A = this chain, B = another copy of it.
Amino acid sequence: MQESLTIGQLAARSGVAPSALRYYERLGLIRAERTGGNQRRYARGELRRVAFVRIAQQVGISLEEIRAALDSLPASRTPTAADWAKLSTAWRARLDEKIRLLSKLRDDLDGCIGCGCLSLRRCTLYNPEDKLSGEGPGARLMLPEGTPD
């Protein structure tokens, strides 16, 4: 069994184009050794990083944020369980928030709205306790206090 992968192999296994992998490397998301002839060789652990990047990206997290998260992993050695756990703790809140938002969108669509409750004022989507604050520059309450619907 090989212990390192060419860019083509990593691309095939991760489902990410070689050009994207080179781009990720420029951004510092993944790393590669070089052969004598200057070709990239990836340690098997990079597969895990690529998977992490793609999944995080698919749910709307920017590459810059992902990079910041991955930077918490040690560069000098293969990350241990404890390293990944630390990253996990840091991301727990934001993942929980995204999951909450998604579940709400889904449930409101076929629950609140689907059930005939058309006054969004009373729906969870607009409820003050569910403020969208924090995420992004434009995020604020959809309906200010005291606004009728």
Contacts and interface: CB of A to CB of B under 8 A. Distances in A.
Interface of A: 1, 12-17, 20, 44, 47-48, 51-52, 54-56, 58-60, 80-81, 84-85, 87-89, 91-92, 95-96, 98-99, 101-106, 109-110, 113-118, 120, 125-126, 132, 135-136, 138-144, 147-149
Contacts of A13: 142-144, 147
Chain A interface main SS type: helix
A139 to B, nearest CB: 6
A126 B51 contact: yes
What are the 8 A-B residue pairs with the smallest beta carbon separation, nearest first?
A88-B109, A60-B60, A85-B114, A88-B110, A15-B140, A95-B106, A84-B113, A81-B116
How many monomers of this chain does the complex have?
2
Contact of A106 (B48, B51, B99, B140): B99
A20 B136 CA distance: 14
A105 B55 contact: yes
A57 to B, nearest CB: 8
Given A60-B60, A102-B102, 12 more contacts: A12-B144, A15-B138, A15-B140, A15-B141, A51-B125, A54-B132, A59-B98, A59-B101, A59-B102, A81-B115, A81-B118, A95-B106
